[in-house]
Structure 1
Amino acid sequence: MSVVESSSVEKHIRAWLQSFIVELNLCPFARPLIADPALRINVCEVNNSEQLHYAFLAELDLIQRSSEGEIATSLLVMPNVLHSFEDYLDFLGDAEAMLEELALDSTIQLASFHPQYLFDGEDKNSASHFSNRSPYPLIHFLREEMVTAALENIDMPQQIPERNIALLEGMGRETVAARWNALTGDEKK
């Protein structure tokens, strides 16, 4: 994959957030943040895993030094690396280990998204995988306190993943894939 321009990547991510995450209500917490300047989208232009580790740590440091009003949540978008889902999962494991090592695992949560996302144990043709698919590999940094507060205002939050699966499966794989293809230009289902 060639190096892509940051401004087009950010526009693409914002379109995905609006048309997939918000319009399908896959994350009930996203709607108020979509236009908020406290939503940070960091298009990381590195092209190797060593640089990516430094970029991850820098993003983590920036969030820690910022108030919730400055950066409520952050998306670290990695368009030039981790194209393989297996490589992405390896890096995600390293990222989770870094959080633990820095004793930030109770302060920051990581949510994972990838263009080839597959839930372990699910049929590879299940529409449910699209709930965690994004146009580019990305890691979503969430502040634990914000997540806890948001969950208090949601009735039965533990049912969000099941609701998303039911929604996407109810729409049907072909419909979901067509929506995805329109967003990404990806002809593969």
Structure 2
Amino acid sequence: MQATTPSVDRVIAATRHWLEQAVIGLNLCPFAKAVYVKQQVRIVVSEAPHLDGFLEDLDRELLALNEADPEQVDTTLLIHPSLLNDFLVFHDVTQIAEEAVVEHGLDGVLQVASFHPQFQFEGTEPDDIDNYTNRSPYPTLHLLREQSIERAVLAFPDPSTIYWRNIETLTQLGHAGWQALMSQPGEAGE
């Protein structure tokens, strides 16, 4: 358990670093760069003291994204830096988030993707490099517009190759390369 919760500014900075260096820099998501450079990615850090509060934040963000002009906000990253550190709990919360999409009548409109510092695909070992495709600095729910996904997939020649290409990229990078990529200036002495 963390002794202190990082500041909102630090969480956002670490998330931007991850987006720029890994997600966009390694091209793990070929669709991310366009919305990021157009500043259409909303990054929200929840400071809810308990799960109920986080789920209320989730409800607000789902509704806000649905209401927002896609040219202004295309996607939202909802982060909680300390509440969901246990990956299995986070996995359960991701399922609740997917149910919330349906409960709000947004099935087919929005969807949820998940990223976590300890992300682990079923059937993998915790340190398998495959898991790093979904490893973020902090527990993060990515709220996406289905319409944006459909547009992006149409523009990409063969989206089914993304997963395997990412595994190959991370295998070549290795654990040491990932760690070097994700370290930020000033971290060595902290």
Q: What is the TM-score with the length of structure 2 in the denominator?
A: 0.91
* Residue of structure 1 equivalent to 2:120: 118
Question: Per-residue displacement from partner, 1:88-131 (whole Å, max 9, x unpaired)?
Answer: 01111111111122231211011100000011101322111111
Q: Is the 8 A contact 2:46 2:78 kept in 1?
A: yes
Matched, 1:98 2:100: yes
Which sits farther off after the overlay, 56-65 or 35-44?
Answer: 35-44
Which sits farther off after the overlay, 120-129 or 14-23?
Answer: 120-129
Secondary structure at 1:100 match in 2: helix
* Residue of structure 2 equivalent to 1:70: 72
Tell me how large the CA RMSD over aligned residues is: 1.7
Secondary structure at 2:37 match in 1: coil
Matched, 1:5 2:1: no
Matched, 1:171 2:173: yes
Separation (CA, whole Å) in 1 of partners of 2:74 and 2:58 = 17
Q: Is the 8 A contact 1:42 1:74 kept in 2?
A: yes
Q: Is the 8 A contact 1:42 1:75 kept in 2?
A: yes
CA drift at 1:175: 2.3
Which sits farther off after the overlay, 50-59 or 169-178?
Answer: 169-178
Share of identical aligned residues, percent?
Answer: 31
Q: Does the C-alpha gap of structure 1 residues 128 and 177 become closer, same or farther in structure 2, counting only changes over 3 Å?
A: farther
* Residue of structure 1 equivalent to 2:18: 16
* Residue of structure 1 equivalent to 2:87: 85
Q: Is the 8 A contact 1:126 1:173 kept in 2?
A: no
Secondary structure at 1:147 match in 2: helix
Matched, 1:159 2:131: no
Separation (CA, whole Å) in 1 of partners of 2:101 and 2:51 = 17
Question: Per-residue displacement from partner, 1:38-84 (whole Å, max 9, x unpaired)?
Answer: 21001111121010110000001111111101211110011131010
Secondary structure at 1:82 match in 2: coil
Q: Which amino acid aligns with 2:105?
A: A
CA drift at 1:3: 2.4
- State the 4+ residue runs in structure 1 displaced beyond 3 angstroms: 183-186
Question: What are the within-5 Å matches in structure 2 for residues 37-76 of structure 1?
Answer: 37-76=39-78
Separation (CA, whole Å) in 1 of partners of 2:86 and 2:38 = 31
Question: Per-residue displacement from partner, 1:17-57 (whole Å, max 9, x unpaired)?
Answer: 00111110000011122232321001111121010110000
Q: What is the TM-score with the length of structure 1 in the denominator?
A: 0.91
Separation (CA, whole Å) in 2 of partners of 1:125 and 1:15 = 22
